[in-house]
């Protein structure tokens, strides 16, 4: 008997390049244990939405500005997601702080990618902060989402050396290449029940 594929929803706010690499990994391999069932954006003109449509993935927009509180937005997010019945939710450049309304509803099923070697540099401007600090390496992390911002158990990390002439932009470009390798690999790992740290 053919095993049912796990259902993956991907949440974005921008260009969606991580979403595309996740989706292409699932769609390009008939043996992949999961399929993308929804791409949801909180920004109506996020570039990633058109890319999702090109990949024939259902899309949804939920504008956070239409809600008075973070909790109201998260409740609406939960409703929309429940229709898609995801087994796993991948945050991929989803620029929202999530409340327990969302986090508790999907506990253990939400992954996030963050462009730093966590626990260093939670939050924004990670590359500028790594350069400023004189670090010799930067990178990206995938972790399980818990109540704290960019917190939660680490599932995978990839690092890149920081070069003497790096700017935040040049470093971001090289880290993004690693994000595109790391996230699909961690998702596969996670779907097999593996919870150890994957290092690429």
- Contact positions vs ligand GRF (CB under 6 A): 12, 14-19, 48, 92-93, 113-115, 176, 179
CA distance 178 to 17: 12
CA distance 94 to 180: 15
CB-based contacts of 49, cutoff 8 Å, min separation 6: 12, 16, 39, 41, 59, 61
- From the CB of 15, what's the least distance to ligand GRF, in Å? 4
Give the nearer residue to ligand GRF in terms of CB position, either 55 or 75.
55
Strand-pair category, 198-199 with 154-161 = parallel
* Residue from 114, 127, 143, 180 carrying the catalytic annotation: 114
Element (H, E) at 130: helix 126-132
- From the CB of 167, what's the least distance to ligand GRF, in Å? 15
Q: How crowded is the C-beta side of 171, counted as CA atoms within 13 Å? A: 26
Give the nearer residue to ligand GRF in terms of CB position, either 19 or 40.
19
Give the nearer residue to ligand GRF in terms of CB position, either 18 or 42.
18
CA distance 74 to 79: 9
- From the CB of 17, what's the least distance to ligand GRF, in Å? 3
Q: What is the CA radius of gyration of the chain?
A: 16
- From the CB of 94, what's the least distance to ligand GRF, in Å? 8
Is 32 annotated in the active site? no
Give the nearer residue to ligand GRF in terms of CB position, either 86 or 115.
115
CA distance 136 to 148: 27
Q: Which residues are catalytic?
A: 114
């Amino acid at each position: 008997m053919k095993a049912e594929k796990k259902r993956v929803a991907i949440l974005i706010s921008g260009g969606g390049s991580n979403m595309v690499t996740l989706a292409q990994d699932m769609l390009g391999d008939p043996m992949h244990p999961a399929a993308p069932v929804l791409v949801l954006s909180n920004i109506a003109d996020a570039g990633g939405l058109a890319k999702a449509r090109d990949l024939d993935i259902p899309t949804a927009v939920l504008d956070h500005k239409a809600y008075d509180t973070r909790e109201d937005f998260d409740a609406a997010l939960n409703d929309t997601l429940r229709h898609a019945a995801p087994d796993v939710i991948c945050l991929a450049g989803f620029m929202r702080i999530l409340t327990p309304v969302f986090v508790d509803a999907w506990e253990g099923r939400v992954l996030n990618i963050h462009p730093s070697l966590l626990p260093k540099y939670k939050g924004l401007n990670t590359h500028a902060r790594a350069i400023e600090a004189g670090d010799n390496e930067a990178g990206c992390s995938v972790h399980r989402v818990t109540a704290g911002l960019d917190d939660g158990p680490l599932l995978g990390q990839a690092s890149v050396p920081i070069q003497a002439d790096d700017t935040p932009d040049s470093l971001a470009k090289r880290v993004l290449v690693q994000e595109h390798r790391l996230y699909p690999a961690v998702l596969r790992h996670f779907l097999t029940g593996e919870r150890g740290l994957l290092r690429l």
